[in-house]
Chains A and B, each alone.
Chain A
């Protein structure tokens, strides 16, 4: 670690000792899970670098942006429109929440039966180990599931820059109106934060930037249809995870570069795993950095993941925002329309998600679906039952896994995953 980093972290108010522990764990996990993979595309070196500098260079960049009066906005959910942040000269970063940290402290604020994601967001705050959180000028919470909704009330007592966005629960006209008016309110709040008024040009430009990022991910996803699959599910997941942190233009460029390489691989029939390796579609709760437990189990048990029906995945990146509007109002409508299509399990009813799961299973030629539910996550675990039923009717094998960030159940999950793969191969 360079001294520069240490003083940077200190200035951000991080707890250096705890932060060292976190970096140690993260580095080790990355080594064991990512760097040990075979046949990785060369282009993944970029992501290895991003990960190794996730608390270093990237934070330095953000601080430099702040120097130049840009604002940083942290978000916990894919309903927070990056277009609006960018258009008002702010940078949006995802706050990861993918690892247990300071569990005892967290349980002073949250009941034990809260999902790992929410607990983790508190753990990172309470232990003062997340430089993104500490450098954010505004933290956006959203009223999605009850757990998050109530947790933000408590979060509000721990930070002084929390902005809570309300979200609809139904895809009705009223729901659409609510979302649109909440995005207007968010737009004003961001404009006030940055002192920059959003114009037609800046919003158009922002929409294009984010669309390009999404389009690059779409391109990557399409390449995973090939057999043998040219990129592991772990690596593709990493790209989807880095989507939330990286400089958008650089991210787009790097993903496109990997895609060029993957196309070459496909033409040579070169894959990360042999041809006919069983193909799995993931569906369910988001997997935030460094939550790599289940994909790691699956891909070391003889299967490959070919898609993620998840917010860190296709649910988050599906659909572009229409940039043809001629007024700010029209463009804001397009933003609302695009996000209103997200089929998060907090919506009722949520048939779209089931349709998408089937669609993705077919598009990516998956042999089976693993439904991933974080323990205590009611919305997704509730939906997992009708999802399983639907898949069963369609003759598609489905395995429901409910777990948390702990490692105690790895052996048991591995057995179930292996049995599922045997079932698929039978």
Chain B
């Protein structure tokens, strides 16, 4: 039997099909203005026996799609991370507009979680805005930050205040890559705070689009002195988790 998991985030939609616990298909697109439309487009031509939606658009999808189940992104990410790393104990997910930290017990059950509050600070959106301000493409932002020779300090984690700090640093002639690194540090500080509230040791499974950023990964493991493990397709973890939850329920 084939099970689909779909993760409708604020920025992107991911779809994963699993059969016998293995991924047989994965797709991704932008969320756009009409998440349900995008989700349905992504499903075109695919056949499956059941579908589970997660992400902020899960309820919209559930209403528009017959027999769809829903699960929160917390549980989906926890399950997905556990499928990638069987002994995962701590999960950090930083997506387009939110971030979360989850602690799991030995058998993979959620023990505690934290989610960021209602602003862009510490999320992919923050990095995106800042990259644009500094004239980097999002893909080059992390690598550029890694080349910085010294550490500048940006105190604010708030997008609006950080922007003005950046403006004054530029005016003072600071190096672009050093500013970039300081901004990365600000995201990491926020993530570290959240992680600290759920768990204090052991490796961290890092998922979500921001996990593709090498500078964030490096700073995270340096700051926390903990190993940071990134799944092969960090953005797919939520959709994978949703599909696997459905599969395990079907065989219960």
Using a CB–CB distance below 8 Å, which chain A residues touch chain B?
A: 392, 397, 408-409, 411-412, 415-416, 418-419, 422-423, 426
Q: Is B56 a contact of A392 with CB atoms below 8 Å?
A: no
B75 proximal to A (CB < 8 A) = yes
B43 proximal to A (CB < 8 A) = no
Q: Which residue of A lies closest to B54 (CB)?
A: A415
- Given the known interface contacts A408-B118, A419-B74, the answer about A392 and B112 at a Cβ–Cβ threshold of 8 Å is yes
Q: Which residue of A lies closest to B116 (CB)?
A: A412
CA distance A161 to B73 in the complex (A): 52
Q: Is B118 a contact of A422 with CB atoms below 8 Å?
A: no
Contacts of A426 on B, CB cut-off 8 Å? 109-110
Q: Is B115 a contact of A415 with CB atoms below 8 Å?
A: yes
B71 proximal to A (CB < 8 A) = yes
B213 proximal to A (CB < 8 A) = no
Contact mask B31-42 → A, CB, 8 Å, 1/0?
000000000000
Residue among A408, A409, A422 making CB contact with B75, cutoff 8 Å: A422
CA distance A411 to B57 in the complex (A): 10
Q: Is A412 a contact of B110 with CB atoms below 8 Å?
A: no
With a 10 A CB-CB cut-off, give which of A408, A412, A415 has the most chain B CB atoms.
A415
With a 10 A CB-CB cut-off, give which of B72, B109, B115, B118 has the most chain A CB atoms.
B72
B113 proximal to A (CB < 8 A) = yes
CA distance A409 to B98 in the complex (A): 13
Residue among A397, A408, A409, A422 making CB contact with B72, cutoff 8 Å: A422
CA distance A411 to B118 in the complex (A): 10
Q: Is B75 a contact of A419 with CB atoms below 8 Å?
A: yes
Q: Is A422 a contact of B115 with CB atoms below 8 Å?
A: no
With a 10 A CB-CB cut-off, give which of A408, A412, A419 has the most chain B CB atoms.
A419
Q: Which residue of A lies closest to B118 (CB)?
A: A409
Q: Would you give the shortest CB distance from B96 to chain A, in whole angstroms?
A: 14
> 7 shortest A-B CB distances, which residue pairs?
A419-B74, A419-B72, A423-B110, A426-B109, A422-B75, A418-B72, A409-B118
Contacts of B73 on A, CB cut-off 8 Å? 415, 419
Within 8 A of A (CB), among B17-62: 56
Contact mask B59-96 → A, CB, 8 Å, 1/0?
00000000000011111000000000000000000000
Contact mask B199-221 → A, CB, 8 Å, 1/0?
00000000000000000000000
Q: Which residue of B lies closest to A408 (CB)?
A: B118
Q: Is A412 a contact of B109 with CB atoms below 8 Å?
A: no
Q: Is A416 a contact of B115 with CB atoms below 8 Å?
A: yes
Q: Which residue of A lies closest to B72 (CB)?
A: A419
Q: Which residue of B lies closest to A400 (CB)?
A: B114
Q: Is B75 a contact of A412 with CB atoms below 8 Å?
A: no
Within 8 A of A (CB), among B94-132: 98, 109-113, 115, 117-118
Q: Would you give the shortest CB distance from A141 to chain B, in whole angstroms?
A: 31
Q: Is B112 a contact of A415 with CB atoms below 8 Å?
A: no
Residue among A408, A412, A419 making CB contact with B113, cutoff 8 Å: A419
Q: Is A419 a contact of B110 with CB atoms below 8 Å?
A: yes
Q: Which residue of B lies closest to A301 (CB)?
A: B72
14 A–B contacts from the bound complex (CB under 8 Å): A392-B112, A409-B117, A412-B98, A412-B118, A415-B73, A415-B115, A416-B74, A416-B115, A419-B74, A419-B75, A419-B110, A422-B72, A422-B110, A423-B110
CA distance A392 to B105 in the complex (A): 13
Contacts of B118 on A, CB cut-off 8 Å? 408-409, 412
Q: Which residue of B lies closest to A424 (CB)?
A: B110
Within 8 A of A (CB), among B155-211: none
CA distance A426 to B107 in the complex (A): 11
Q: Would you give the shortest CB distance from A405 to chain B, in whole angstroms?
A: 15
CA distance A416 to B115 in the complex (A): 8
Contacts of B75 on A, CB cut-off 8 Å? 419, 422-423
Contacts of A418 on B, CB cut-off 8 Å? 72
- Given the known interface contacts A415-B72, A418-B72, the answer about A423 and B113 at a Cβ–Cβ threshold of 8 Å is yes
Besides A412-B117, A415-B56, 9 more A-B contacts (Cβ < 8 Å) are A397-B112, A408-B118, A409-B117, A416-B74, A416-B115, A418-B72, A423-B110, A423-B111, A426-B109
Q: Is B113 a contact of A411 with CB atoms below 8 Å?
A: no
Contacts of A412 on B, CB cut-off 8 Å? 98, 115, 117-118
Contacts of A415 on B, CB cut-off 8 Å? 56, 72-74, 115
CA distance A165 to B62 in the complex (A): 53
CA distance A326 to B178 in the complex (A): 79
Q: Which residue of B lies closest to A417 (CB)?
A: B72
Residue among B56, B74, B98, B117 making CB contact with A422, cutoff 8 Å: B74
Contacts of A411 on B, CB cut-off 8 Å? 56
